[in-house]
Structure formats: C-alpha cells, structure tokens
Structure 1
C-alpha cells in the first residue's frame, strides 16, 4: 500500500506539471504576436550567372534566405542550356546529332522557340549562331563578309532542321548549331520565379541581366516599377528613358545601340537577320516587350530588333498578351518612341518625345 500511495503521488505531481505547462503554452500562444512590417519582410538576393548578374527581391514574413537554392537551381539550368559549359546538354547536342533529355529545361525552350520562330516567320531563330560567330564583334574579326560564305551558312541556319519532342532532339543536318542566348536569360527568370512561388512567395521581382518578372506588389503595396535605359551608344545606362509599372508581367529589352563595330564607315549591328544572313539596317534602337512570362518577352524582343519598328508594331497586334515600347530613330535621325495602347496606363516617359500610336 505504501508503494502504491507513493506512485499515486508521483503521478499526480506529473499530471499537475503537464497541466501547468499546457496552460503556459496557451497563455503564450494567446498573446498578440509582434507583427513584421512589409519593409522588414523585404529580402534581397544577388549573384552571378550566365555571364551577367541576377537580383531577386521578395517579401517573406519568415525572412528566409533562398540564395543557396537559387544558386543551385541556376547551376542545373546552365548545365542544360549553356554553350560555355563543354558537357552541358546544349553543348553535347551541338557536337552530336541527337540527344535524350536528362534535365527539364531543354524541351520547354525548344517548344517556345518554335512558337516564336513560326509567329515571326523566322526572325527569331536559335540556329543563327554560326552567322553571329562569323560576323564577329572583336577587332580581329571585324570585316566585310563574302556573300558566298553567307549563302553557305544560311543552309544550316534554319530551325526547321531541328526535330524534337518531350524526350529528345535530333538534327536533320549535322552542321546545325543551337544557341539560346536570346531566350535563356528570360527562361532563367521564369524558372527562379516558379521556384519562389513553390516556396510560398507571392510578391517578388526577379531579374537576370536586365530581363525580369514581377509578381504581386512591393513592400509599399504598389506595383513593381522598373526603368528602361536611354538608348545611347556611349552606354549611359543610368539615364532612364521611361519607367514601367509591372502588373504580374515579365519584361525584356533588346537593343542595337551598344554592341556594334564600324568598318570603312559602315556600322554593323550585333543583331543578325537569320533570313538574309546580314546585320540588320534599320532605325529601331531598342525593343522592350512585356509578356506573361519572360521567355516569351526575351524571344520577341530579339525578333523585333530583327524586323524593325513598323513590322514590330504589326507583330504586337497579332500576338495575345504582348505589349511593347519601341525606341527608334525617325527619318530625320530624331529619337522617337512607340507605346502600345495596353501599356500606356503603366508607363511614365522620362524623355518627353513619345509618339502617339496613330502617328506611326
């Protein structure tokens, strides 16, 4: 009996302790928690990738740092699509006749590239790489090109020579060379945005080398706002031409005003027309495209730099959910701009030279 009484006392004490701890927990949990302001939720992650830099800004009540995850994801992404990594999937495809996909990025970029290739009637073409390399932009390779050599290269600059499905891709001509530099940064932005959304982040601004995606709002409860640089051959990137508010959109800009060389008084742009084989000659200085995702925006911005101002205006009318800002030289050499109607409520022009769309 004495032993049982002692056990009962011990059990009673333990029960009282448990009840007391539960009480304390409930009291603590019922106290008002210290709120975290949107400004305190603002997180910024930066780094390097694809020969440029990235910057990711997002709001997170838990203040989680996603840099390790972002860097890891970008390494895998580049292992699929980089032409600078010798054993990447893209590099192996360029050296061989076919490939089976092991990573999830090659097929989507081929699929969207095909869509834009067809929509632009070949103005966007990831097989244009051999022409870009042949024209060159270093002092040793800056020269006029023989028309016969250009005609020969055009035989393998044709995206229709690449066959693919969700499992793999193959070439119809072994000399075909793919280069996704005109779409990969935009695609990388989309991949990072999707990663953050999977982590429960709804407010973010993701940027790689000037291509970006905005989702939700910034820490002030406003749409994310980004600047478009003044097109200037002297590279004065700090001078803004306009500011655009992004309503859950992606934005990409392509331009001809910085990457060029001059031979015998003739200016050669880095944008090569995959149809003619020659650098473009027109007055379009830069094309800024807003789309539902950055891969599309990046590709269409490149295509517009190939086809020029008026054709870009007509293209925008054909493609759903596409808005544009075009900055160009008119016939008198004056800098002008075109803003598509759907973009007008979201843009502030820093340079007061905007042309009404009816004037173009």
Structure 2
C-alpha cells in the first residue's frame, strides 16, 4: 500500500513537471494612424479580443471617423456618450485639474488652427488666438456617463493625448478577462503592461533620445528601463516627432498650450511617466510638455506615490538636455 502511494506521488510529480507553459504570442497592426504591437502569454490566439478593444476606442475617440462618437459631438450631431467615452473624459478631467488647466482636451480648435488636425495650419495673429481660446476650457464642458454638454456649439474635443493610453489599458483589461497575466501592449509608444516577459523577467523598454526626427528613422535610445511592479502604464510625450516648420524656419511642436493658445515652448524636450494606468500616464506626459519644468512643480508635488517621471530638460544649448527623474523612476545604470 505504501509503495502504491509513493508511485502515485511520483507519477503526479512527473506529470506536473511535464506541463508546458502557455506560449507567448504577438499581434500587431495599424490603429489611430500608428503602429500597435501586443505580446501576451496565452493558450489560445486572442487577436479578436484585441481588435475588438481597439475598435471600441476608435469608434469613440477618432475625430477623423465620421461615424465616431467624438465626431458627432464636435459636429453637434449628438451629445450622447457611453462608458468608454466617459472613462476617457474622466481620465483627462483629472489631469486637467491637476495641471491647473494647462492640459485640456477642449484644445481641438487651436490644434486644428495650428495645422495638427483637419486644417493645413497658418500663422495665427493674437486676435485669432484670443478668439479661439474662448472655445477652450474643460470648465465649460460637463459630462455624465450618458451625456455631454458644452457651453458653445463651436467647442470641440481632442482625445489624441489620452486615447492611445486608454486603448492600451483596454486591451490589457480584455486580456486579463481572458485569464492573461503576462502581457505588454504598445500603441504608438504608449504602453500597458503586466507580469513578466518571455524570459521570466520584468518587461524592458527603451526611451528614445529626443532628436528632431519626423519620420522616426532615429532609434537611438537614451534610457533602457525595467518596468516596475506587477502592472502599470508608461507613456512618453515629445515634440521631436510631430512638428511643423514655419516659412521663417521656426520649428513649432504639436503640443498646444491651453493657457496661451500657442504651441508650447518649454524647456522639457521629452516627458516619460509611469502610472497605474497608461491613460493617466499619457495625459500627464502631455501636461509636463505644456507646463515646462518650473511651472510643473505644483503638479509634481501633488502626484501620488505610485506615479513616477523622467524629464529630459533642455540646458538651452540646441538639443542638449539633462535627465531629471523622480526618485522612484527606474533609471538605467
């Protein structure tokens, strides 16, 4: 009897030892005019769930899609919203308040006027800027889980600074519903992550050196970091990939200040933020770009302990910069 029990135990040990772990899979493609790539560990292909999540955000937040919810709102066709829209709006509203109004998703009229949206863009005069600023301000908009109201029908919303982050989070959420605990979702550089990589270690990513490169040919990395904790989001914002060159040769970036109405010209060349969600990290990174290092001090002191940042701050000498990070940001060594 004892020998039978021992043999049975040995069989169970051998069987458990032979169990193969689920393979790591990948899915990639285009969404929101940029590339996405998802790496995840699962027994089955979950591409359909990934695509479903991406299309859900596209349906809500793509201003160039005439069937989207934000298009309807911007063009006063409907003010009805759903839980996805409300979640994106709420994430943006939180950072709007934290940044003292510097970060604002009602910036769309100015984004368009400066040539980063539907219009070709043109040099704006101060009266033109002042006129457009009348249409900017999240304090002029209210949103419930079912309806949005705006003070003027000419007001428009732009979720570009938060939608990719939210979409990364949503893909991660759908993967977790399917039982996946190890994944990395990247959409245009905005990352949601959980668990470990195929080597069983923390997910490792690179942060680009902030050099003017509209085509993305330069892949030189300034930092290589291990993403901390079991789950979170990382986003990086910078003007070195999306910018315009005026007829006088002046370069201006796509980050528009909701306070001045002009392209933000601050000393922060790039901002990387790690937060519990990628949507929050996405919006905060943009807020840093708008505010600059000194003006972001109040916001930095209010950040919770589970948010960290790395800022590439210009020294005033061309593109020379100094990396400045919060103590908990996982710098490379």
Match of 2:23 among 15, 35, 41: 41
CA contact (8 A) 2:114 2:124 kept: yes
CA contact (8 A) 1:45 1:65 kept: no
Match of 2:98 among 110, 114, 119: 119
CA distance in 2, matches of 1:113, 1:201: 28
Q: Counterpart of 1:99 in 2: which secondary structure? A: coil
What is the CA deviation profile of residues 68-116 of structure 1, one whole-angstrom value per residue up to 9, with x for unaligned ones?
2211222222111111210211111111175222x43111111121111
Q: Which protein shows a greater Rg? A: 1
Match of 1:110 among 81, 89, 94: 89
1:256 aligns with 2:239: yes
CA distance in 2, matches of 1:266, 1:76: 38
Q: Counterpart of 2:296 in 1: which secondary structure? A: helix
1:337 aligns with 2:320: no
CA contact (8 A) 1:184 1:295 kept: yes
Partner of 1:5: none
Give 1:76-87 correspondences, 5 Å limit. 76-87=56-67
Partner of 2:154: 175
Match of 1:268 among 239, 252, 275: 252
CA distance in 2, matches of 1:48, 1:35: 36
Higher helix share goes to which structure?
A: 1
How many residue pairs match? The answer is 314
Q: Counterpart of 1:113 in 2: which secondary structure? A: helix
Partner of 1:68: 48
1:312 aligns with 2:296: yes
Structure 2's unaligned 5+ residue stretches are: 1-7
Q: In angstroms, what is the RMSD of aligned CA positions?
A: 2.1
Deviation at 1:332, TM superposition (A): 3.8
CA contact (8 A) 1:123 1:273 kept: yes
Deviation at 1:143, TM superposition (A): 4.2
Give 1:178-327 correspondences, 5 Å limit. 178-234=157-213, 235-247=216-228, 248-260=231-243, 261-320=245-304, 321-327=306-312
Give 1:131-142 correspondences, 5 Å limit. 131-136=110-115, 141=120
CA contact (8 A) 2:53 2:167 kept: no
- What TM-score comes out, normalization by structure 2 length? 0.88
CA contact (8 A) 2:164 2:188 kept: yes
Stretches (4+) displaced over 6 A: none
CA contact (8 A) 2:113 2:121 kept: no
Deviation at 1:141, TM superposition (A): 4.3
- What TM-score comes out, normalization by structure 1 length? 0.82
CA distance in 2, matches of 1:273, 1:133: 13
Partner of 1:50: 32
Deviation at 1:313, TM superposition (A): 4.8
What is the CA deviation profile of residues 222-273 of structure 1, one whole-angstrom value per residue up to 9, with x for unaligned ones?
1111100111113444211001211222100000123222332432222111
